[in-house]
Each structure stands twice: as C-alpha cells, then as structure tokens.
Amino acid sequence: MTKRITAAVVAATLGFFALGAAPAKADDPYWQCVTFARMFSGINIFGDAWTWWSQAVNRLRTGDAPETGSVLVFRPEGRMSRGHVAVVSDILTDRVIRVTHANWGGSRGKVEENVTVVDVSGEGDWSRVKVWYNPINDLGSTVYPTYGFIYKNARDAFNAPRESTATGQP
C-alpha cells in the first residue's frame, strides 16, 4: 500500500512539470501508436497493438518489468478495442515510468513525450496501469490492463553467452 501511495505522489508531483500539447498544424503527420512504437523502439512488429504481445512471445524477450526502450503493450478494452503500445523512455521508481507514445486520448494522432504511467496492480507486475492525461493535468481515472513489456533483444540473443570486450572470448 505504501508503494502505491508513493507512486501516486511521485506521479502527481511530475504532473506539475508536464507541458501542454502544442496546437496541431494542417501539415503535421498523423501518428498511429504502432507505427510510432516500431520506429522509436526498433522492435519490428506489425499489426494492431493488441497483436504485438502474441507476435513477440516466441521471438523476443517479454516480461513484467520496464526497461528503457522496451514497449509496454496494453490489452484491448472498451474504447481501446485495438490495444495500445508505448515506448518506455524513463524509469522513475519500481512503479512509475515515463513513456513516449502516439495517438493517445486528447492527443489524437500526435506524439506525447515522457508521459507518466503508474503501476496500480496489486502484485507490482505492471498488469494494470494508470496514464497521465494532459487535458485534466492528472492521472486519468481509467485503469488499463496490459500484457507486459517487449524488449528489443531477441530471445536467443539474450540467452547466448556474451563475449568479453577485453579478450573477445565468451
């Protein structure tokens, strides 16, 4: 319970430093979350956001702990029928991260940088999160279910022996 309160306080404090979204221009690109996440993270997965998890499970490392550059995959639910993906840009605490993502809430088609996301799951496994929502300058009231994080490293590469940089030997 203390970790949840600490995470909420950290998130609220960070909100005071959040910048509002810039007004849209007619020639600005319209970003989808999957296109942006693929380009920004380098994780080469295609298709709707909710399909990323099943595509990654046998190909890439997946897990329930954030790493900078990993992709947080949101489950489809309610109005978010195709899920959502967001790239972890910073880890603030074990239950508070920042993500950079596109096409979220009040920023349709736009990229939002360093948005606060708080783990509100009972187990601390990032299976349920709240996301900072600029229009209200606070964490949104919705709790979003997630699959977890996809890491850029291929599953086999992660388990392979690593070479020593000094000798070139494993």
- pLDDT values of the chain reduced to their tens digit, one per residue, 170 residues: 554 444 443 444 444 334 444 454 556 789 999 999 999 999 999 999 999 999 999 899 999 999 999 999 999 998 889 999 999 999 999 999 999 999 987 678 899 999 999 999 999 999 999 999 887 889 989 999 999 999 997 555 444 444 444 444 54
Domain 2-15+29-155 superfamily per CATH? endopeptidase domain like (from Nostoc punctiforme) (3.90.1720.10)
Phi and psi at 99, nearest 5°, equal -125, 155
Q: How far, in Å, CA of 87 to CA of 71, rounded?
A: 4
pLDDT the model gives residue 128 = 98
pLDDT the model gives residue 166 = 47
* Domain ranges (residues) in the chain: 2-15+29-155
Phi and psi at 141, nearest 5°, equal -85, -15
pLDDT the model gives residue 25 = 55
pLDDT the model gives residue 133 = 85
Q: How far, in Å, CA of 99 to CA of 61, rounded?
A: 19
pLDDT the model gives residue 153 = 74
pLDDT the model gives residue 149 = 98
